[in-house]
Amino acid sequence: MAANFAALRSQVELALAGRVVAPFNYRDRQEVVTVSSGISEIDLLTGGLPRGALTEIFGPSCSGRTSLLLSALSARTAQQEACALIDGGDAFDPHSAEAAGVELRKLLWVRCRNVEQTLRATDLLLQGGSFGLIAVDLSDIAPQLVRHVPLDSWFRFRRAVEDTPTILMLLEQESNAKSCASLGLRLEAGVAGWSRMPVEGAAESAPGCAAGGPVNYSRLPWGWLLEGTSARGEVSRSRVQKGNAGYFRGGFAAAAGAAREGIFRTRMDWDFFSLPIAAKRK
């Protein structure tokens, strides 16, 4: 039995010679170089984003995936690292990204329309190297389509990025690469933050205003303005360090937080949304 195993092992090593070094050695590293995700609360939760490894971020709509993606891109481009975004659903908004601090001149945006294009683009960029962060965004593709991606594709991507300084980040609605990811982070949508404010134009049309008299604001119609959202992040898998659960609010102005939970807040840029379409495209 031992002789047969030794012979089989020798045949496999010979067949893989020149392509895979020491295929029977356990290759998971105990010590991994990590960098900031751009959100201190997520860094406390996960230990940071591991280089030379696959990080899987998954969760439903409005769970904070895009906020985390833009924060990571902002952090890496701020360090003058070239990044790539493989946009599986062609849903990336460069204007919002720039407002979030992403240096667009350091970002390669690959616009795809289906899973097949996304996988081919990922293969090509991983072979080319030289990127500090490669984000593969499948968030806007139906989960039932992403489920049909062969498991060996995730393994191939993981092997391609090993022993490189590249962070490979995969974003989905469901976890499909759990067995291949060095870090898995599950996100859940939380409550939204609202503020009460007068309806636009109500004060000017109120009795007394036109005549220069005082306005009784207590009698004006009021509305609600969305200030931001919150989300919950939980480490589902980690070869970097033992994970735990924590809370954060989507956005880029981090507040003080503890190691087990933290809050960061999104401030909606309503001035941006009020600009004419032509002005946004400049």
Cβ count near 107 (within 10 Å)? 22
pLDDT number for residue 233: 80
Query: Residue 178 contacts by C-beta under 8 Å, 6 or more apart in sequence?
Result: 56, 184, 236, 237
Integer CA distances (angstroms), 198 to 141, 205, 216, in order: 39, 12, 12
Confidence of residue 264 (pLDDT cuts 50, 70, 90): very low
Residue in this structure with the two tokens 């990025």, named with its chain if needed: 161
Tell me which fold the domain 27-280 belongs to.
Rossmann fold (3.40.50)
Query: Residue 142 contacts by C-beta under 8 Å, 6 or more apart in sequence?
Result: none
Computed over every residue of the chain, the mean pLDDT equals: 76
With a cut of 50, say whether residue 55 has pLDDT above it.
yes
In whole angstroms, give the CA distance from residue 46 to residue 12.
37
Q: What type of residue sits at position 218?
A: S
Mean pLDDT, to the nearest integer, of 90-99?
Answer: 93
Q: Retrieve residue 114's tokens.
A: 């289906």
Percent of the chain beyond pLDDT 90?
Answer: 44
Q: What angle do CA 203, 206, 207 make, to 5 degrees?
A: 145
Q: Cβ distance 257 to 41 under 8 Å?
A: yes
Q: Phi and psi of 196, rounded to 5°?
A: -90, 135
Cβ count near 80 (within 10 Å)? 9
Percent of the chain beyond pLDDT 70?
Answer: 62
With a cut of 90, say whether residue 224 has pLDDT above it.
no
Q: Name which residue leads in pLDDT, 205 or 151.
A: 151
pLDDT number for residue 214: 56
Q: Fill in the DSSP letter of residue 215.
A: -
pLDDT number for residue 5: 61
Helix (H, G, I), strand (E, B) or coil at 169: strand
Model pLDDT for residues 96-142, shown as the tens digit of each residue: 999 999 999 999 999 998 999 999 999 999 988 889 999 999 999 99
Confidence of residue 39 (pLDDT cuts 50, 70, 90): confident
What is the pTM for the complete model shown? 0.70
For strands 133-137 and 34-35, give the pairing: unpaired
Helix (H, G, I), strand (E, B) or coil at 88: coil
Q: What type of residue sits at position 111?
A: R
Q: Cβ distance 188 to 248 under 8 Å?
A: no
Among 52, 87, 51, 53, smallest CA distance to 69 is for 87
With a cut of 60, say whether residue 209 has pLDDT above it.
no
Among 75, 93, 118, 107, smallest CA distance to 254 is for 75
Model pLDDT for residues 142-153, shown as the tens digit of each residue: 999 999 999 999
With a cut of 60, say whether residue 273 has pLDDT above it.
no
Per domain, the residue ranges of the chain are 27-280
